[in-house]
Amino acid sequence: MHVVFLIYPNVTQLDFTGPAQVLSRLPNARVDYAWKTREPVLTDSGFSVLPTATLAEVTHADILCVPGGIGCTDVMEDEEIVAWLAETGAASTWVTSVCTGSLILAAAGLLTGYRATCHWAWHDYLALFGAEPVRQRVVFDRSRVTGGGVTAGIDFGFALMATIAGEEHARMVQLGLEYDPAPPFDSGAPDKATPETVARLSTLFAGQGNDRDARIRAVAERSKETA
């Protein structure tokens, strides 16, 4: 079972380390972290990850997964990566994502006509690429599986594991990892957080990339022209 995560500068590390921890427990699993080179890739948490494969070395996967992160817009604009994703995704059994990774998949034309989810702050952009946005933590649509923001990647990993290897195997892995979440605050979604918290975080997100909206819309327009 070959699992491949695309990693890139300013990727959110938990977007891929969370599901990787789970999916590495699939029977006969082999996990690769792919990038253009094997040089260290800096995550948005301030530490680097060493790729185990280059994009040129990966042409298909049993599970292809694209995580999100601050650098996702840069990746959506990178024609080399988009072309690699389109080709590799077409040859892969499962095409998946976590958080804003679904926007990267969408930019590669891999979510057109599919139901999908994303981080709540970026969710509505999916429709620009012909995907159907669904506000769920994990969304399955045929061979496409998308997870919501960051921590949803762990739930995504278990849901996909249960589909592939059976619920009993997934339950066993869950016990082994002691995945028994009990957050100290019930503030993990916009409809649960206070309006003040949502407004404060939205302002923070806006400050991370003032041109984000225009750049994503430009990628969406280009993808329509080349479809």
- Catalytic residue set: 99
* CA–CA distance, 108 with 116 (Å, rounded to integer): 14
Collect all residues with Cβ–Cβ distance below 8 Å to 71 and sequence separation of at least 6.
8, 9, 10, 11, 44
Q: What are phi and psi of 27, to 5 degrees?
A: -55, 130
Rounded to whole angstroms, the Cα distance separating 194 from 33 reads 37
Rounded Cα gap, residues 73 and 11, in angstroms: 11
SS3 category, 111: coil
Name the pairing type of β-strands 144-147 and 138-141: antiparallel
Yes or no: say if 69 and 41 are a contact pair by the CB < 8 Å rule. Answer: no
